[in-house]
Structure 1
Amino acid sequence: MAVSVDPPSGIRNRGKHYYSMWKTLFEIDTKYVPIKAIGRGSYGIVCSSVNRETNERVAIKKIQNAFQNHVDALRTLRELKLLRHLRHENIVALKDIMMPVHRRSFKDVYLVYELMDTDLHQIIKSSQKLSNDHCECFLYQLLRGLKYLHSANILHRDLKPGNLLINSNCQLKICDFGLARTGSDKGQFMTEYVVTRWYRPPELLLCCDNYDTSIDVWSVGCIFAELLGRKPIFPGTECLNQLKLIIDVLGSMADTDLDFFDNPKALKYIKSLPWSPGIPLASLYPNATPNAIDLLQKMLVFNPLKRISVAEALQHPYLSHLNTPEPDPVAELPSDDDLDAAEYLREDKIRELMWNEMLHYHPEAAVANS
């Protein structure tokens, strides 16, 4: 539980109150009443809280020493800039970014999201029974959120069960946009930071720079398979092993399916593998419906040019009965949100850009500092 503590020595409250959770100090705006810590990740600790002005339940993520690692600072900045413009029922909403006391020296960043009950990783590894209806429901919402992102040419690039938040009513929301890119700047970032390995498509395993929205479709296919089988389909230990596991299941590739790739070393490795007939997905997932297997096969296609699109997947017989006549919303991002040069920014500039993002949630601070 959250334990109220006195401010650190020499610090006045200044509209904040202080709590200790998991041996970590939280400096929180007084309108938020923290309840308990609910999660810990590589980028911070998350606690549940209540906004006493609106009585809304929220999740507060503290990113400690946000500027200690340059790549992590850029991830945080990118997520803030993207989430400010994304509005979709299957995308997690960023409600607030708390203003720090000191503009030019703050180290920690506090993000306030809508509160969700759990994530898909926790559900998959639990003993809870997952019916075909559950799989349809989760997959449909994931694809709807992804279609919205792709409508603005945004690639999520890190879809995995842990980045899919779930409520008790089975509502799903995509989160963690630190690796997301628009189509224009996706090649600007180091591919080793793209997509957790088990959900990484062949084109990224083969270090191909020429990739598009189909990389997210492969990740969705891996998540779908994990829903059906309650374990990862390709749990590789490193990149070459990951490729081998994929070939073991999908079977050896024809030369025409390898023309897309231009990494001679990786292609030589693939061609050196013993011939594999593949494993029928229906035998891996005997309880799945024929339509589920057919859609999964169309997602897990080695050649990205032949992979099903998100829009096509939503029209597939496995999911088409869930579609509604209302048009899907379209995401729009202003052109000035391009972060092409962000990798070369100094810490003070990244801090300034984060401050500017905070001002969108606190216009009164902009007036006070003008």
Structure 2
Amino acid sequence: MSSSKRRAPVAVNNVAESKATAHGNMSSHGPINGVKIDCQPARKKRALCSEDQASREVTVRGEHDPHKIIKVNANDGKTGDDFELAYTVTKLIGNGSFGVVFQARLINSNEDSAIKKVLQDKRFKNRELQIMRLVSHPNIVELKAFFYSNGEKKDEVFLNLVLEYVPETIYRASRLCAKSKQTMSMLQIKLYMYQLFRSLAYIHSLGICHRDIKPQNLLLNPFTCVLKLCDFGSAKILQAGEPNVSYICSRYYRAPELIFGATNYTTNIDVWSTGCVMAELMLGLPLFPGESGIDQLVEIIKVLGTPTKEQIKTMNPNYMEHKFPQIKPHPFSKVFRARTPTDAIDLISRLLEYTPSHRLTAIEAMVHPFFDELRNPETRLPNGKELPKLFDFTVQELSIRPDLTSRLVPQHAEAELLSRGIDIHNFTPLPQSKMRATKDGLQPDPTKVSVVEHFPIPTNLTILGDFLGLASYYRRFIKDFAKIAAKSNLATQRIRRFLWKLPFLIVNRSNRIKNSLVQLEKGQAALKECNIL
């Protein structure tokens, strides 16, 4: 807290924090009462938290020989196909309570990769693996492969995620500027924030909430200025009516509804975190550097003022204690430097709203005037090179808000989309219900299913899965069932033939796909009756 005079006690009850997440800059605190607020606005905050505060240290035993080739049986990150992965460990690049991250060199492709090694609880599926296999986006780090390895203890199993390697983070880039007593250029901030919003618009359309947006989780290629979102260890596919833990997200970037203990929050918590990141890049320091969960709320109130009863109700209807002193909001125009563009201040003010539904969505933020410079074909990077690809949208991205397409796609980018068969003036948006992910995987892509009759009969399950866009579920379903049927004495030859024949029936009879899937369910039921499942 600031060393200036404290005043105006705040009574806040029932804001209990049970435990820290694996990635948060957090400590555990119970309910706190009588917290006092420093009413003086603080423009210059305390120093940035060190990067190793983001996770607790763990012991890493042994040295890794960079010349030793390690070979493991791995699975492809998207298809799940088995293959032998050979790599050498270059160096340790991160560690914490979640596990360790190594930089590695992949032998076959001769490219760098990051291998994230986390302890696998056998009782549960790994949510990060599930989500990483679902997503595919130019601004999200790619999952190349995954494999399991044994630990030193008995029955200790580790999941290893082989990820795309990106050399820098927004956090380190921001710290470098801070050390030289500078802030990032406004063009850099626009580039990074736009790409972050684009990645969020994509995962939010799937129903995925990242829940840990912070500078440390924003990877950066300093030569191309391409940003990639990483670390989906806290991410979750939000389901209507299903409660979620409120003690999530690193403290400086935690939305107020989480501090109030909300369990029915939405993807808008990511938007709040993004607003905090943008403000930090502009200030060179965190905007809300709370020392505890409750102090985080104090820091927010200093800038936004005291939330009204109505605003508290929108954040958490079950929170009944609202004995706050009446603190007036401190204008954002006075929080930032005098030369800060007004459209930048306007964007931040529309991201950092108490009422979650009043915040801009990620796709709405992308069309904000703050990013108009990026849509200018004459804009170049400081080194004179062209901007990275910002408008190579997919049909799914354009289907999020079709009414914004004309503002989202600049005229000079239409030709590239048209070359991929996307006419923004005449395309059919995907139904929202078909875009969302489920706990079992993505919904079938209707644009792929609709052209079944024009596709040649696939010769193997890999081609079939890629064609139908159902690799995350149906191919694995059929493949695993076939293995079970082949090994079980209880399975009849008829069931085995049915399971292998069904994929080709689906392709050949495109107008009967629904009926074929019904038969698939019957086959599953038959196996259950034989006690095979």
The Cα offsets for residues 307-362 of structure 1, whole Å up to 9 and x where unpaired, read as: 11112111110014435665445365355249xxxxxxxxxxxxxxxxx99x98xx
Structure 2 counterpart of 1:94, which letter? Answer: L
Is contact 1:314–1:320 with CA below 8 Å preserved after alignment?
no
Residue 291 of structure 1 aligns to which amino acid in structure 2? D
Q: Which position in structure 2 is the counterpart of 1:40?
A: 95
Counterpart in the other structure of 2:171: 121
* Residue pair 1:88, 1:329 contacting (<8 A) in 2 also: no
- What 5-or-longer segments of structure 1 have no aligned partner? 8-12, 18-28, 339-355
1:234 CA drift (Å): 0.8
Choose which of 309, 330, 338 in structure 2 pairs with 1:279: 330
1: CA distance, partners of 2:313 / 2:439: 34
Question: 1:133-282 residue pairs with structure 2 within 5 A?
Answer: 133-168=187-222, 169-184=224-239, 187-192=242-247, 194-260=248-314, 261-268=316-323, 272-273=324-325, 275-282=326-333
Residue in structure 2 matched with residue 96 of structure 1 by the alignment: 145
**2:80 aligned with 1:80:** no
Counterpart of 2:225, as a letter, is C
Q: Contact 1:2–1:35 (CA<8 Å) still a contact in 2? A: no
Q: Judging changes above 3 Å, is the alpha-carbon distance between structure 1 residues 2 and 207 closer, same or farther for their aligned structure 2 residues?
A: same
Asked if 2 retains the 8 angstrom alpha-carbon contact of 1:158 and 1:195, the reply is yes
Q: 1:51 aligns with which of 90, 106, 114?
A: 106
1:297 is matched with which residue? 349
Distance of 1:134 and 1:205 partners within structure 2: 31
Q: What does residue 10 of structure 2 align with? A: none
Tell me the SS of whatever aligns to 1:84.
helix
Contact 2:237–2:437 (8 Å) recurs in 1: no
- Partner Cα distance (1:244, 1:291) in 2: 27
Distance 1:200-1:31 versus aligned 2 partners, 3 A rule: same
CA shift for structure 1 position 141: 0.3
TM-score normalised per structure 1: 0.76
Deviation of 1:180 (Å): 1.5
Give secondary structure in 2 for the equivalent of 1:137.
helix
In 2, the alpha carbon distance for the partners of 1:266 and 1:200 equals 20
Q: Taking every aligned residue pair, what percent have the same amino acid on both sides?
A: 32
Instruction: Find the aligned partners of 2:319 and 2:70 in 1 and give their Cα distance.
Output: 59
Report how far residue 30 of structure 1 moved.
Answer: 6.3
Offset, 1:109: 2.2
Q: Is this contact kept in 2: 1:160–1:196, CA < 8 A?
A: yes
Q: Is the 8 A contact 1:34 1:47 kept in 2?
A: yes
Quote the residue 2:65 is aligned against: 4
Q: Structure 2: which amino acid aligns with 1:298?
A: R
SS at match of 2:440: helix
CA distance 1:16–1:225, change in 2 (3 Å) = same
Contact 1:118/1:165 (<8 A) preserved: yes
In 2 relative to 1, CA 277–152 (structure 1 residues): closer, same or farther, beyond 3 Å?
A: same
Moved more, 177-186 or 242-251: 177-186
Q: 1:195 to 1:14 in 2, by over 3 A?
A: closer
Paired residue secondary structure (2:138): coil
Structure 2: how far apart are the matches of 1:253 and 1:96? 46
Opposite residue 79 of structure 1, the aligned amino acid is E
| Aligned counterparts of 1:16 and 1:264: Cα–Cα separation in 2 | 51
* Greater mean deviation of Cα atoms: 237-246 or 248-257: 248-257
In structure 1, the residue corresponding to 2:369 is in which secondary structure?
coil
Secondary structure of the corresponding residue to residue 286 of structure 2: coil
Structure 1 residues 4 and 265: alpha-carbon distance in aligned structure 2, compared to 1, 3 A threshold = same
TM-aligned CA distance change 1:41 to 1:266, over 3 Å: farther
Instruction: Give the secondary-structure state (helix, strand or coil) at the position aligned to 1:278.
Output: coil
Q: Note closer, same or farther for the CA distance 1:301–1:151 as it changes in structure 2 (3 Å cut).
A: same
Offset of 1:254 from its aligned partner?
3.6
- 8 Å CA contact 1:164–1:172 kept in 2: the answer is yes
Counterpart AA for 1:175: C
Q: Within 1, Cα distance between the matches of 2:240 and 2:232?
A: 14
**Runs of 5+ in structure 2 lacking a partner?**
1-61, 74-83, 376-389, 397-434, 443-471, 488-533
**Alpha-carbon spacing, 1:328–1:316, altered in 2? closer, same or farther (3 Å):** farther
**In 2 relative to 1, CA 6–297 (structure 1 residues): closer, same or farther, beyond 3 Å?**
closer
Root-mean-square deviation (CA, aligned residues, Å) is 3.5
Q: Deviations over 1:207-227 (max 9, x none)?
A: 122321211110110111111
**Contact 1:62–1:108 under 8 Å retained in 2:** yes
Higher RCO (Cα < 8 Å, 6 or more apart): 1
On the 8 A contact 1:2/1:36 being kept in 2, the answer is no
- Between the aligned partners of 2:343 and 2:307, the Cα distance in structure 1 is 24
- Give the alignment of 1:291-330 within 5 angstroms: 291-323=343-375, 326-328=392-394, 330=396
Tell me if the contact between 1:58 and 1:112 (Cα under 8 Å) persists in the aligned partners: yes
Give the Å deviation of 1:61.
Answer: 1.8
Residues 327, 97 of structure 1: alpha-carbon distance in 2 compared, 3 angstrom cutoff: closer
Q: Using the alignment, how far apart are the partners of 2:221 and 2:286 within structure 1?
A: 22
CA contact (8 A) 1:32 1:49 kept: yes
In the superposition, the TM-score normalised over structure 2's length comes to 0.54
Cα–Cα, structure 1 residues 241 and 84, in superposed 2: closer, same or farther, change >3 Å?
same
